[in-house]
Amino acid sequence: MPCVFVAHERTPGETRVAATPETIRNMLKVGLEVRVAPGAGASAFIADSEFEAAGAKIASDLRAAYSEADVVLKVRELGRQDPLGNEVDLLKEGAIVIGFLAPYAHDATIRKMVERRITSLPMELVPRITRAQKMDALSSQASIAGYKAVLIAALNVPKYFPLLMTAAGTIKPARVLVMGAGVAGLQAIATAKRLGALVEATDIRPEVKEQVESLGGKFVDLPGLGDAGRGEGGYARELSAEVLAKQQAIVKEHVAAADVVITTALVPGRPAPKLVSADTVSKMRAGSVIVDLAVEQGGNCELSELGKEVRKHGVLIVGHANLPATMPFDASNLYARNVLALLQNILTKEGQLNIDPNDSVTGPTLLTHAGQCMHAPTAERLGLAPPAPPPPAEAAVAPAAAPAAAPPAVPPPIAAPGALPAVPPPVAAAGAPPAPGAPPAPAAAPGVPPPPPMPAPSAASSPVATAPPTPPPPPAAIGAASRSSAPPAPGAK
């Protein structure tokens, strides 16, 4: 049975954990063995006893837990586990690692994973397709960051968020500008509206306008950009210097009028675009607040500083990194479900691990596998051999269709004792007068030749007199039935 190890995060400030009692119970149901590092969930307020109650084992020997694990679940990238050393060296060859593994950084770690034939599945590379929605950890964590950014701003701005009508007069609502209407930005818009602020939002992707307005925000149009900012998978694309300058000029006056600015603009694998210049900050009112959610990738504000709150030109600029870690309980619950969904995707029905590069989720998510760097941009950056194309999946051959069974033979009807045999109705000879009481024969439709005459049956073939056959419907009725069932001719009304 495959063994899963839940590691204890050592990155400073990281409080989340990659599994919860809920997800561990689901792992055990599919036949996995689960071990958890002592204290792995303590910062997320999950005790070791809760993991044990769910069926996991608390690892007493961390070195053995790493070396025996088939799958290691992480929140952040592999790093040092003092006093054991680097986590990559602790893993057995061919092990699988799932987590936020920073594929656009930590080059030395990526090279080492290639050398040790580690299979790595960074949560950052999960494709944005319908099938992978429940694995999208970037979205689940960005939603928390957008929510928390508004609360931080509300605590620090020296005024109310909502409109207030008091005996002492009216208090105007705070003005909030959200830059970037991705998952974090949309959550920020929704939270600021709940607190009663006037909210504006801007984004280089014009298609998000409807989403902004559905949350009660006002969309700041950026005319002339067209599709310049639309990237793959719903992400924004890096703008040219000329287009970026045009965007800055348009939003400058909106920034200057805002009490709170929340910046969320990110481009995968690239430094964060600079949206708020130092000159723009100097135009803002004293006491205003900027919360820069892109600070870990360089920041959207020129004056942001990673991990610090600084005040420039009277404006407070908040550069807190890793805001999801400030809400570790819910952040861990959401993240653990994302990880579980990705883990289930690489399990067979029998509970065995199966890495399929042809899979629509596994393939794009792979960073390293079988001694190769599978992520082409990373391989190019590191000067490694480009990934070999995966072998084509074997096409399933449909079984030959069985020949259709012949319909069962219908036996002829059995005549009752003493009954006369059935006799076909007589056919009138050509030119013969109709039988007494029979309706006249219908006239032929115009342009339709009459049927050829039939020879009159002999007396021997018709020994029994029968009633005349029912005449066919008149031509008008036939034409009406045809018109009701046939499709209209082109151009017909």
Separation CA 136–CA 256 (nearest Å): 35
Phi, psi angles (nearest 5°) of residue 35? -120, 145
Amino acid at 178: V
CB atoms within 10 A of CB 225: 18
Residue of 16, 81, 136, 140 marked active site = 136
Between the two ends of the chain, the Cα-to-Cα distance in Å is 69
Separation CA 197–CA 7 (nearest Å): 41
- For every residue of 315-371, DSSP letters joined together read EEEE--S-GGGGSHHHHHHHHHHHHHHHHHHTB-TTS-B---TTSTTHHHH-SEETT
Residue of 48, 107, 235, 277 marked active site = 235
Give yes or no: 292 in active site: no
Residue of 43, 81, 139, 304 marked active site = 139
Residue of 49, 61, 63, 133 marked active site = 133
Separation CA 256–CA 260 (nearest Å): 10
Give yes or no: 133 in active site: yes
Q: Which residues contact 394 (CB under 8 A, 6 or more apart)?
A: none
Separation CA 365–CA 358 (nearest Å): 11
Give yes or no: 235 in active site: yes
Separation CA 314–CA 288 (nearest Å): 7
Residue of 128, 194, 230, 237 marked active site = 128
Q: Which residues contact 415 (CB under 8 A, 6 or more apart)?
A: 421, 422
Contact 293, 323 (CB under 8 A): yes
The residues annotated as belonging to the active site are 128, 133, 136, 139, 235
